[in-house]
Amino acid sequence: MKQQILFIQGGGEGAYEEDGNLVASLRSTLGDVYELHYPQMPNESDPDYEPWKVQIKQELTGLEGEVILIGHSLGSSFLLKYLAEAKIEKPVAGIFLMATPYWGGDGWRYEGYETIALPADFASKLPSGVPIFLYHSRDDEIVPFAHLALYAEKLPRAIIRKLDRRGHQFNNDLSEVVEDIESLSG
């Protein structure tokens, strides 16, 4: 059976199409040893956590065997919240979070952010023993680079990848993510 990957897109108008370029980068580089699932999330232009949570659960339930979880931008923060709240029955090989907004604290505080902010003890609720990788470009024009340090503080065992000149969409080049995914089986 091929290694299963679930990629959760970011939010905003056109995000599924834009993040499709990231998925294409992964597919072309990883090859056919992996089966990459890329569902379109509900109402991407005005995303709400509750419907995304339902879809993440459905997608995970439909996968067989151990899974690799990847999120980009808002999809990363929603995925992290889901993992902190739900009891995950499926074995997780790795969690890969790219350009993840940090809600609350010294991060973003928009109207209603409390509904998507992580609990203070979220790190202790994540699947135990699972490697977590965080990626962020210093020139991200959407999510401030400072959000990476907020996550690094809460997730001291996470592997941090600080990138240069890659923007919010990583120039559609996920070569570092591919290397880290491949390192899981090595």
- The domain of 161 spans 3-184
Instruction: Give the pLDDT of residue 186.
Output: 61
pLDDT, block means (10 residues), the chain with 186 residues: 95 96 96 95 93 97 96 96 93 97 79 74 94 98 96 96 98 97 87
| CATH number of the domain encompassing residue 139 | 3.40.50.1820
pTM score, whole prediction: 0.96
The C-alpha atoms of residue 8 and residue 52 are separated, in whole angstroms, by 9
Instruction: Give the pLDDT of residue 119.
Output: 86
Spacing of C-alpha 8 from chain mean position: 6
Instruction: Give the pLDDT of residue 185.
Output: 80
Instruction: Give the pLDDT of residue 120.
Output: 87
The C-alpha atoms of residue 75 and residue 77 are separated, in whole angstroms, by 6
| Domain count of the fold of the chain | 1
Instruction: Give the pLDDT of residue 178.
Output: 97
